[in-house]
Structures are given as C-alpha cells and as structure tokens.
Amino acid sequence: MTARIALFDLGGVLLDWSPARLYAQIFSNAAEADRFLAEVCTMAWHTEHDRGVSFADNAAPLIAKYPQYEPQIRAWHSRWGEMFDGYITGTDRLVEMLHGREVPLYGLSNMPAEIWPQMLDMFPALRRFREVVVSGQIGMIKPDPAIFHYTRTRMGDPDPRDVLFIDDLPKNIAMAEALGYQTHLFTDAARLEGELIRQGLL
C-alpha cells in the first residue's frame, strides 16, 4: 500500500536544531559547554518544555541549583533561534514539491509551545503544513501512543496505512509502526526523496 499523506517530524528532519550550536557561542571553552549540556541544561530537562512546562517554570529550580549559570540557563529561551542553522539540506525543497503536488502535509513535533509563533516566522516552509501538532501545546510527547492518536484525529482520522510518518528517532518510528503507520527513518534528504517517489507522493 502506498501513502497519500506525509506526516513530518520537524527537528532533525526538516529543521537543523542543536543546542550545542548556541552554547559554543556562549562558552569560550568547549569542554565547559559540553559539561553544561551534560549536567545542567540536559535533554531530560528540556523534555519538560516539550511536555508543556513553561521556560520560566522549568528554569527556576535549575537556577536555584546552579545560580552561577543563570544567564546561560535563561539563554535556552531568550536565544532559542540561535540553536538553528536553517533547514536540513534539501528537506525544504521536498516540502515545496509535496505542497506543489497537493499532498496533505502535517507535522508532529516534540517542541515547546511558547516558541511556536517564532518558529513560523523563522521557517516559512512550516506554513505549507495543513496543521502541526506541537507537543507542548497538548501536554503529550512522542513516542506516547496518545499523541499519535491525537494527531490522527487532527488529520481527519485516516487509515494509518495511508500515512507516511517521517522521523529521525528509532523509538518514534517503532511506535508509529506498531500503530500501523508507514514509516521512514530519516537520515538525509536524498533517501527521503527516494522513499517519497517509491510511495508515489513525488
């Protein structure tokens, strides 16, 4: 069965996001930047933003624990845009091609709610999507099956076999497969384009 709907993850698929990019600018010492991301502003800490906790509420206990790093902790929000280096090469072109063929485009992203308006301004390709489910807006994150069920409803309740889900994390791909979606584990735009052609979407 070939797909008729494309469901994209954003960070790591369409958008080149890396907190290390920002903190390499903030810290003059690379080892200190690495230590900060490993011990202070960790990905586990950031995941709470994706769950819907505000930047302010999530920063407060961390600042209390590491007061010497208050400016660096607050930079996670105030300098959010500096974590990005545009689109992952070639993926915005694929979005435009799919849009031109009137393929229904949807997004499903673990992302903080507060910065979503900023993301739309930074990345015009995001406006090609009929809808993007932002985890922080609904308090669920991938790979929780509940967020896949919610997203399916937002897409008009299609048969999951009609949907090609594109993500860069194996755990998210595994959950989507268990729920009956067609999947593509993203590594680069060339391989994704091949899969879109195979599916008849391009």
Look up the domain containing 189 and give its range: 5-16+85-198
Q: Please determine, for residue 1, whether its predicted confidence score (pLDDT) is greater than 80.
A: no
Q: Are residues 172 and 92 in the same domain?
A: yes
Q: Are residues 158 and 129 in the same domain?
A: yes
Predicted confidence band of residue 139 (pLDDT cuts 50, 70, 90): very high
Q: Are residues 23 and 79 in the same domain?
A: yes
- Chain position carrying tokens 């991938």: 142
Q: Are residues 90 and 79 in the same domain?
A: no
Q: Are residues 38 and 115 in the same domain?
A: no
Looking at residues 193-197, what average pLDDT do you find? 98
Total domains in the fold of the chain? 2
Q: Are residues 73 and 120 in the same domain?
A: no
60-82: pLDDT as tens digits? 999 999 999 999 999 999 999 99
pLDDT, position 196: 98
98-108: pLDDT as tens digits? 999 999 999 99
CATH assignment of the domain containing 90: 3.40.50.1000
Predicted confidence band of residue 27 (pLDDT cuts 50, 70, 90): very high
Q: Are residues 117 and 67 in the same domain?
A: no
pLDDT, position 80: 98
pTM value is 0.95
Q: Are residues 48 and 144 in the same domain?
A: no
- Count CB atoms within 10 A of the CB of residue 91: 22
Query: At which of 37, 65, 83 does a domain end?
Result: 83
Q: Are residues 105 and 154 in the same domain?
A: yes
Share of the chain above pLDDT 90, in %: 99
Buried b vs exposed e over 24-55: b needs ≥16 C-beta within 10 Å?
eeebeeeeebeebbeebbeeebbebbbbbbeb
Q: Are residues 127 and 177 in the same domain?
A: yes
